[in-house]
Amino acid sequence: MKFFIDTANLQDIRETQDLGILDGVTTNPSLMAKEGITGDENVRAHYKAICDSVDDNVSAEVISTDFNEMVLEGESLAKIDDKIVVKIPMIKDGVKAIKHLSNQGIRVNCTLIFTAGQALLAAKAGASYVSPFIGRLDDISTDGVALIQQIVHIYNNYEFTTEVLAASIRHTMHLIQCAEVGADVVTCPAKVIMGLLNHPLTDKGLAQFLADHNKARETAAPVLS
Ligand code: E4P
């Protein structure tokens, strides 16, 4: 299972990369805006800095919604670095753009997926990744993890190579549930990945081990030479 971080914040990306478990990064226009990154040159430089911070898989989203413009923008983003995966929204022109870009060997992540039918279309068009937004589905009382399970099942039926990238993950249980139903990738904020580290019994157990070790060392008889 791959772990991606869902942010455009370089510090979070580098800290998570430093753990040694990071497989990629997903961004979107909202996340770029949150970091104050605007203007074509700044955007490209920021994507390059992200690419230089990780091993592979940096999703960079197009802003256009017209087929020809999406293709041009996708080709231009792909030239920034071999690690770029072009993110294309699930709209009619987007499906055509996915087919066109993937035929050229450019990896595509189809975003804003909310149904199994959309995921099927994206796979048919040749997307490398498909991003169902599970948190946004849960927000409207619809089972996001059930959608991941359904897409995994459909892709397995037909041996699609498109990877299921569970997105819009809000908490550690989302991540665990996605692992249980066979998502290929999860993308989540740093706090969700770091949240996997925590258990009070781990902290308590470690404190006890260290206390016992120190006590034994203090009371041990000196070793005679
Ligand atoms: C990932 O590709 C998406 O852009 C992201 O996970 C959306 O998450 P949100 O619903 O928390 O904005």
pLDDT of residue 174 exceeding 90 = yes
Q: What is the pLDDT of residues 90-108, one digit of tens each?
A: 999 999 999 999 999 999 9
* Nearest-angstrom CA–CA distance, 53 and 56: 9
Catalytic residue among 2, 87, 99, 204: 87
| Active-site residue, 2 included | no
Q: Strand 24-26 to strand 129-132: parallel, antiparallel, or no bridges (unpaired)?
A: unpaired
Domains of the chain by range and CATH?
2-198 (3.20.20.70)
**C-alpha distances out from residue 70 to 37, 73, 86, 142, Å:** 20, 5, 10, 31
Q: Is the pTM of this model over 0.85?
A: yes
pLDDT of residue 224 exceeding 90 = no
Q: Specify the pLDDT at position 48.
A: 98
Q: What is the pLDDT of residues 29-77, one digit of tens each?
A: 999 999 999 999 999 999 999 999 999 999 999 999 999 999 999 999 9
Ligand 1: lining residues by beta carbon, under 6 Å: 6, 26, 28, 111, 131, 133, 135-136, 167-168, 187
User: Candidates 28, 57, 148: which one to mutate for ligand 1, based on the most atoms within 8 Å of Cβ?
Assistant: 28
Q: Are 164 and 198 in contact (CB under 8 A)?
A: no
Q: Which atom of ligand 1 is nearest to the CA of 170?
A: 11
Q: Specify the pLDDT at position 220.
A: 82
Q: Tell me which residue of 151, 169, 161 sits closest to 5, measured CA to CA.
A: 169
- The pLDDT confidence band at residue 221, using thresholds 50, 70 and 90, is confident
